[in-house]
Structure 1
Amino acid sequence: MPDLADAVDLALTDPVTSALRGRLRAFGATRGGAARFDADVSPFGALPAAPGPGDWADLAALCGPGAEVVLVRPGAGPPAVPPGWELVRDFPGVQMDGAAVRGAPDPDAVELGPGDRAEMARLTGRTRPGPWLARTAEMGRYLGVRHEGRLVAMAGERMRLGGEGPAGATEISAVCTDPAFRGRGLARRLVDAVAAGIVARGERPVLHASAVNHGAIRLYRAMGFTLSRDMRFDLLRTPH
């Protein structure tokens, strides 16, 4: 169904807006051409491909004065911000497409729920896989591996793009392993298990990685993910 594939590809060029105008609309807000997740869910925001002054003003209104937002967009270079805005940190990334990934359930993976949130926060605090805030875990399904009762690795779902089934894609995120348990293949197993759940819904697994995290990119390539586009995750501060 090429029309559905084209719709998913279009959503992937602007994942934040697609998520917040679709299946994750309860987790943020849009205003004009701008979009922003709630501040306790994700720092991500978005603008049109060629934003004008009104678009920047809409994003500033969604965020509030002097607030930080991570602008997510395709591209190879940092954004040209208007006067009053500050580029705090430029962050190049890549988007990886899992259309060919089937995944595989893992018998050792356990589903994580509200009672696991404190442990999930501690693990992400130790490993820094990416933004993890008070309500991030509400965005999708998370799986973990425990050792002697302690959570030592996890991965889960973050942005859900487009529609459901073949019209949609789900981003795999928060892939992390306690330093004492690295080198055992836990990250790969958990990504496979999360991907299997996404594929079972008829959706496409996708993920994002830092452009300089060559080890992660090699792992994801070996699993069947392909590089689809350069992405930016630039940290900005709104005008005061």
Structure 2
Amino acid sequence: MTKLSVNINKIATLRNARGHNRPNLLQAARDCEQFGAQGITVHPRPDERHIRYQDVRDLKAVVTTELNVEGNPTPDFLDLVREVRPEQVTLVPDAPDAITSNAGWDTVQHQAYLQQVVADLKAIGCRVSIFLDPDLDMVRAAATTGTDRIEFYTEDYARRYPTSPEEAIRPYREAAELAQELNLGLNAGHDLDLDNLAYLHRNLPGLAEVSIGHALICDALYLGLENTIQLYRRQLTDTQS
């Protein structure tokens, strides 16, 4: 079964726009779980423009499924995850001023660094995932870091899917098959939505988890949060045609 982890960054963005606690982020996380989310994802950034570091601490106390904390492993970020000890840490090489994540790691160039970070995080009981483009060399190098999983950056898939699903999925399927050979778990995320998710799910062997935020929250404005989460869960069943 492929699990759905709901990224609640956009709920924090809306809260921060007025400077109070509406919507209530912790209640939103509880509701997502009640409505069927199998995990909660957050990506705190240095400027705290959506998820704040304190949010991560508070969420750890209320999330009952799995808390996945994404981010660039800066000293402040690593201090936070050592304190919180989420179930999963996803390492993302984004710049402090990035609007959103836009590339995977060069696991060849940063191999020694990632080995140390992965070892430190696994030592405190966190599952570790490394954000990657579907590049076979990067997958091979990721396997040498000791990481438990990799997460495919799926923006390119989502961009190409409307005109050529087969071409869009090909590099991801090849990289997923290699990941299986190397005993790497597989996650995916970025620009996944109700149009392209089922096809990705059917064509990526070993897909353990998807994390989805922006599209899911946008859909929830029209469809309601409970209904939307159920619709996304439905895309991840083996009965999709």
Considering fraction of residues, name the structure with more helix.
2
Is TM > 0.5 for Structure 1 vs Structure 2?
no
Higher RCO (CA 8 Å, separation ≥ 6 residues):
1
TM-score normalised per structure 1: 0.33
